[in-house]
Structure 1
Amino acid sequence: MKTQHLTATLLAALALAAGHGAQAQTAPPAAPMPAEAKLDSADRDFLENAAQAGNMEIAGSKLALEKARDPDVKAYAQKIIEDHEKAGQQLATLAQSKGYEAPKEPSLVQQAKLKALGLRDNSFDKAYIDEIGVSAHKDAVELFGKASNDVKDPDVKQFAIQTLPVLQQHLDAAQALAARANAAKK
């Protein structure tokens, strides 16, 4: 008898829950915020990727201030932090004005790369210059170069155009540090 009562109670509860679920599914979807409509999805993707890249370069450079042994590498890292924090603030303000909140952290893949970089000891300086200085900046230069031509929003396009030369300078400086380190090994 108790089993039948318990089964009936469970079935009634499931029926009520299913009824509420059906109501939730038939409710009209929330209208998108007008601000969200200001940005094309490709423009939002650029802002997201740019924010994550900048956050990774800042985090990697802060790590370099702690772990790097070469004073030139530390000076480079400090410059990266200063420039990318400034660009990150501009990006966040721009994104917010367009109804989009830019990420405040590197992507999960980038976080894993930073974790691996942090595990290095003797080879840290070279790994930082190769991974953050050269590789990440090559990717950023490519991202911003493409955005300079392809994004639709004129303010986002202007941000990409203005930021690109600074990223190119960072890449050039990293390549010079890498070349110097490679020449010292010979």
Structure 2
Amino acid sequence: MNARHLLAATAVLATGIAAAQFALAQTTTQDKSGAPGMSKSDANRLIAIAQANLAEVAAGKMASEKSNNPDVKAFAQMMVDDHSKGLEETKKVAAAKNVTLPAEPDAAHKKMAAHLGTLSGPAFDKEYVSKAGVADHIKVHAALKDDIANAHDADVKALASKLEPTVAHHEEMAKKLNSAMK
């Protein structure tokens, strides 16, 4: 093999290695069999779904304890129940895909919880329903629709499809509750 052929072969090999490294960099997980798992964007979608569930459970627990309004308490308990189920479903998919999920709400939701902790009575109820109820559910509902449309991993897509109707229902209930409180 002459130098020109050796150089060409080396270039082809280097290109192949670079392509393999790029493909590997796009995959952040392995499934339980050790096969390559989901893309980083789909792993991030799964983490976001978990984060939304964590935040709703935490805020719902706070509202169940702090609120004196029976409608707010009922809504909060539904958030705890439904989002706890959603979190368990998310954990199952994450375990199968070897994705590590957060164990607590993110900084923005911790800040909201700290603010809610300073409120009481009707002021607490209004803030909880408008922020954790309406605003968060609008945001999460839109994210789930995006996950359904754009996730590449079939399990992430299926999880988003399963959770979307519940979140849509929560959004609608939160809007009605919010309107009734004004």
Q: TM-score range by the shorter chain?
A: 0.7 to 0.9
What are the superposed Cα offsets for residues 18-74 of structure 1, whole Å, 9 maximum, x if unpaired? xxxxxxxxxxxxxx7633830111111111111111111110110001111210100
The aligned residue for residue 165 of structure 1 is 165
Q: Is the partner of 1:160 in helix, strand or coil?
A: helix
What is the letter of the counterpart of residue 139 of structure 1? K
The aligned residue for residue 150 of structure 2 is 150
Question: How many residue pairs were aligned?
Answer: 151
What is the letter of the counterpart of residue 66 of structure 1? E
Q: Is the partner of 1:34 in helix, strand or coil?
A: coil
Percent of paired sites with the same residue: 29
The aligned residue for residue 39 of structure 1 is 38
Distance in 2 separating the partners of 1:110 and 1:180: 25
Summarize the alignment of residues 8-47 of structure 1 with structure 2, pairs less than 5 Å apart.
34-35=30-31, 37-47=36-46
What is the letter of the counterpart of residue 95 of structure 1? A
The TM-score normalised by the length of structure 2 is 0.79
Quote how far apart the aligned CAs of 1:112 are: 1.2
The aligned residue for residue 69 of structure 1 is 68
The aligned residue for residue 109 of structure 1 is 108
Quote how far apart the aligned CAs of 1:173 are: 0.4
Distance in 2 separating the partners of 1:73 and 1:167: 17
Distance in 2 separating the partners of 1:58 and 1:115: 15
Structure 2 unaligned spans of 5+: 1-27
Larger Rg: 1
The TM-score normalised by the length of structure 1 is 0.78
Distance change >3 Å, CA 81–CA 33, structure 1 → 2: closer
The aligned residue for residue 3 of structure 1 is none
Runs of 4+ in 1 over 4 A off after TM superposition: none
**Do the aligned partners of 1:68 and 1:74 also contact (CA within 8 Å) in 2?**
yes
**Do the aligned partners of 2:29 and 2:97 also contact (CA within 8 Å) in 1?**
no
What is the letter of the counterpart of residue 39 of structure 1? M
Moved more, 32-41 or 89-98: 32-41
Q: Is the partner of 1:95 in helix, strand or coil?
A: helix
What are the superposed Cα offsets for residues 118-177 of structure 1, whole Å, 9 maximum, x if unpaired? 111130000000010000101110110100000000011011011100000000000000
The aligned residue for residue 99 of structure 2 is 100
